[in-house]
Structure 1
Amino acid sequence: MEKEHDFIPERAKWKRQLFRVIFKADTKSGKTFDMLLLLLILISTFIIMMESVAIFDAKLHRTFVILEIIITVIFSVEYVLRILTVRNKRAYLFSFFGIIDFLAILPFYLSLFIPITKYFLILRMLRMLRVFRVFNLLDFMNDGYYIVTALKNSSRKIYIFLLFLMIFSVIVGSMMFMVEGHREGFESIPQSVYWAVVTVTTVGYGDVSPGTPFGKFLSVLLMLAGYSIIAVPTGIVTAEMRAKRQELGKVCDRCGNGDIDDNARFCKICGEKII
């Protein structure tokens, strides 16, 4: 969550108090402030979704616009107050939540010139991540750290896997192009490659399907291979997550088991007490 960017000097007591309300959730006023922000985010998201429904937009367009303006003004004032009350302004502006706070208001002002960009206001949903801080659920963020770290450590293996998958899809798609003989959906190699990607990922839109016996046989092989292929990146990331957890987490001194929950008091394998 947000780091504590050093309090403002004594001469600006109101800024320190406002800083605690805006950036912290350890006081009643701070929690109330955050809960109101979360509520406004939900209302804003609901408005954006309803605006995309023609029947609602036709009846309530003016109301939606007024509510969007009010909410955006509140978020704009809040963003300015965050900048004013934080000492290390650069650290906040370029932090994860600083960028998200900025993106929460930018689309509205862009929509004054490019109307379609107003739908980017849905990015305000990212501000809901503050719910972890409000309800003291920061431990869940540690689990998110394991996932991000595992993905980062697995990136090289995943890139190689994706390259193999691309090559495999191009080859199979080209084969299907020759087998189907320019039938509907297989008029070109790119269209056939599209079919191969949809099939091997087991998405199966059904908009393109082979008609020849050999084409159907090739499809069966590709669909069966798809189940095996999907398991590869899952296994890679899972192995990295397990390794990272063993590296940073607890390890049983007796049997060496590293798969130990954070709140565990005894090893699940040998029953040894965990220090």
Structure 2
Amino acid sequence: MASSSPPKNPDPALFGKPTAGLRLKLYTIIFEADTRAGRLFDMVLIAVILASVAAVVLDSMAAIHAEYAFALRLFELVVTAAFTLEYIVRLYCVRRPLRYARSVFGIIDLLALLPTYLTVFVPGLHALIDVRVLRLLRVFRVFKLTEYVAEYGALGQALAASRRKILVFMSFVLMVVVVMGTLMYVVEGPAHGFTSIPVGVYWAITTMTTVGFGDIAPKTGAGRMIASVMMLLGWGTLAVPTGIVSAEFTAQRQSARGTTTRTTTRTCHECLSEGHSPSALYCCDCGARLPAWRHDAASAG
């Protein structure tokens, strides 16, 4: 939880000169949604993202591509130019451009640009423009759904706290499918479609996950018995990760009871984290002094 008491070494000079002027104005509009201009920018950005993804989907249809290929290509070039300008402005207005470029959203922003430029050399990469849909995660900021921002953060924390348990569980599943796949290869053999151990492992994975494509099926009694065991294991396989993450959610909810505070989209200039309370003076992640909370009446209410 953000605190109003200064942490160790709170001097802003340690982090560089405070952002001011045009860079601060651009930063507030682009990275925050507590002002009318910030919300408008993000809503326009989301509309353009949806339009560009729709254009890629339509372009993949042969009939539409044959008739509107030039128009769709021109639209994509215009959108890519706009996103390129936006990416440059984002790097310009943050105090740590390399840190933003290496962040999750920075990488997604870059990936939204690369496919169009790379299609000059590899035309098939054009469809990868759909990665732009990941940028719609900003919708939580645009519509000021701070409670959903908190839940999104709780999901990330629960997954992070469960990573070792999930890793152990996945290791167990991997061992099971390798053993069962090998066993099916020995029992069924190439005569029934199990031509190698990797093919047997593939069958074990599709069976354990209850997908069951049906392209490979056991024919012998022993093979069907093994398949039955795999199907029953599949039910438990689906339940275990859910239980692990749910337990972490419960633990977090119990520890956070009575400590919930309203959050904003005010972003730290140093580590780019957001979700600080309106009264916080210092970043809860890196300890840097937070910029003043810029908001309009609708956001303050």
* Residues 160-183 of structure 1: CA deviation (Å, up to 9, x unaligned): 222221221122222222222432
Within 2, Cα distance between the matches of 1:133 and 1:70?
A: 26
Within 2, Cα distance between the matches of 1:189 and 1:16?
A: 60
**Which residue of the other structure, out of 219, 244, 249, is the alignment partner of 1:241?**
249
Within 1, Cα distance between the matches of 2:34 and 2:256?
A: 28
Within 2, Cα distance between the matches of 1:94 and 1:178?
A: 48
Q: Which residue of 1 aligns with 2:278?
A: none
Q: Which residue of 1 aligns with 2:224?
A: 216
Moved more, 180-189 or 35-44: 180-189
With the length of structure 2 as denominator, give the TM-score of the two structures.
Answer: 0.74
Q: Does 1:97 align with 2:108?
A: no
Structure 2 gap segments, 5+ residues each: 1-15, 260-301
Aligned CA distance change for structure 1 residues 36 and 204 (closer, same or farther; 3 Å): same
Q: What letter is aligned with 2:30?
A: I
Q: Secondary structure at the match of 1:183?
A: helix
RMSD over aligned Cα atoms: 2.2
Indicate conservation of the 8 Å contact 1:6/1:86, yes or no: no
Q: Report how far residue 7 of structure 1 moved.
A: 6.2
Q: Secondary structure at the match of 2:216?
A: coil
Q: What letter is aligned with 1:79?
A: Y
Indicate conservation of the 8 Å contact 1:177/1:189, yes or no: yes
Aligned CA distance change for structure 1 residues 45 and 210 (closer, same or farther; 3 Å): same
Structure 1 gap segments, 5+ residues each: 252-275
Moved more, 113-122 or 35-44: 113-122
Within 2, Cα distance between the matches of 1:229 and 1:92?
A: 38
Paired residues for 1:103-114 under 5 Å: 103-114=111-122
Q: What letter is aligned with 2:192?
A: E
Aligned CA distance change for structure 1 residues 168 and 22 (closer, same or farther; 3 Å): closer
Within 1, Cα distance between the matches of 2:17 and 2:144?
A: 21
Q: Report how far residue 6 of structure 1 moved.
A: 8.4
Q: Does 1:136 align with 2:144?
A: yes
* Residues 2-25 of structure 1: CA deviation (Å, up to 9, x unaligned): xxx98633xxx4444333332332
Within 2, Cα distance between the matches of 1:244 and 1:14?
A: 40
Q: Which residue of 2 aligns with 1:63?
A: 71
Q: Which residue of 2 aligns with 1:78?
A: 86
Q: Which residue of 1 aligns with 2:266?
A: none
Moved more, 112-121 or 92-101: 92-101
Indicate conservation of the 8 Å contact 1:6/1:88, yes or no: no
Q: Which residue of 2 aligns with 1:184?
A: 192
Q: Report how far residue 52 of structure 1 moved.
A: 1.7
Q: What letter is aligned with 1:52?
A: S
Q: What letter is aligned with 2:66?
A: A
Q: Report how far residue 242 of structure 1 moved.
A: 1.3
Aligned CA distance change for structure 1 residues 7 and 79 (closer, same or farther; 3 Å): farther
Aligned length: 244
Instruction: Choose between structure 1 and 2 for higher RCO, CA contacts under 8 A separated by at least 6 residues.
Output: 2
* Residues 233-270 of structure 1: CA deviation (Å, up to 9, x unaligned): 2212211221122222349xxxxxxxxxxxxxxxxxxx
Aligned CA distance change for structure 1 residues 229 and 18 (closer, same or farther; 3 Å): closer
Within 1, Cα distance between the matches of 2:83 and 2:18?
A: 22
Q: What letter is aligned with 2:76?
A: E
Aligned CA distance change for structure 1 residues 59 and 160 (closer, same or farther; 3 Å): same
Q: Does 1:48 align with 2:56?
A: yes
Within 1, Cα distance between the matches of 2:18 and 2:109?
A: 20
Q: Does 1:169 align with 2:174?
A: no
Q: Report how far residue 28 of structure 1 moved.
A: 2.8
Indicate conservation of the 8 Å contact 2:192/2:219, yes or no: no
Aligned CA distance change for structure 1 residues 62 and 7 (closer, same or farther; 3 Å): farther
Q: What letter is aligned with 1:213?
A: G
Q: Report how far residue 119 of structure 1 moved.
A: 1.8
* Residues 115-157 of structure 1: CA deviation (Å, up to 9, x unaligned): 2222221111111111111110132122122222222222222
Indicate conservation of the 8 Å contact 2:141/2:149, yes or no: no
Q: Which residue of 2 aligns with 1:8?
A: 19
Q: What letter is aligned with 1:175?
A: L
